[in-house]
Amino acid sequence: MSEKKAKRSEVLKITITAMLLAVCMVSQVFKNLSVYITGPVVNTCLVLCLLTADLKYALLLSLITPVTAYFIAASPVMTAVPGIIPLIMAGNIVLVVVAFILVRPTLKKNTVKNNVMYVITSAIAAGAKGAFMGLTIALWLLPTFLPQAGPLRKNLSVFQKMFSLTQFLTALIGFAYVYIVWQALKKFFASEIGE
């Protein structure tokens, strides 16, 4: 690949990442309406970034989106326990890395076998994110650091569900969106996944 073509490719990847970040930020405006609006959109953008840009850009997006979520529509629990932010970043990274290893290769060909593998590997990636966040946030961080006397403590079980099962479900929905969007994008980005 010539230097000029490589530069153009990097500019395209940066542009795609910026556009996906913009989509994430718009969805985060609706975060307080329902996590089932924002969560799937952010997860979709993370995986699409992996597929259309590269792993490093998807990892960068994984780090940025929790920060933008905090500034756009911080939930009371994020304000009360800011340690959630790096663990959400890590949960996003788990999703992206597992998707890079397992999910990305299944999109090479549109066969029944690969479609079945996409469903299985997507469930594994979503489960890895949900399990990681469940263990670190729901079972450790919140019970340990959510103020005992504060009004948020009575909602601990709701927050624990939000940072475990809900993360799994929103990631699964995100993978369904990825599959649909990828059908339209795959010819353009075929070289990115080695088709």
DSSP for 34-45 reads -HHHHHHHHHHH
The yes/no answer on whether domain 3-192 falls in CATH 1.10.12 is no
Q: Place 14 in a pLDDT band, splitting at 50, 70 and 90.
A: very high
Instruction: Report domain extents, the chain.
Output: 3-192
Please say if the pLDDT value at position 20 is more than 50.
yes
What is the mean predicted confidence (pLDDT) over 38-54? Answer: 96
Angle at 95 between CA 157 and CA 16, to 5 degrees: 125
Residue 194 scores a pLDDT above 50: no
| pTM listed for this prediction | 0.93
What tens digit of pLDDT does each residue of 98-140 get? Answer: 999 999 998 877 778 888 999 999 999 999 999 999 999 999 9
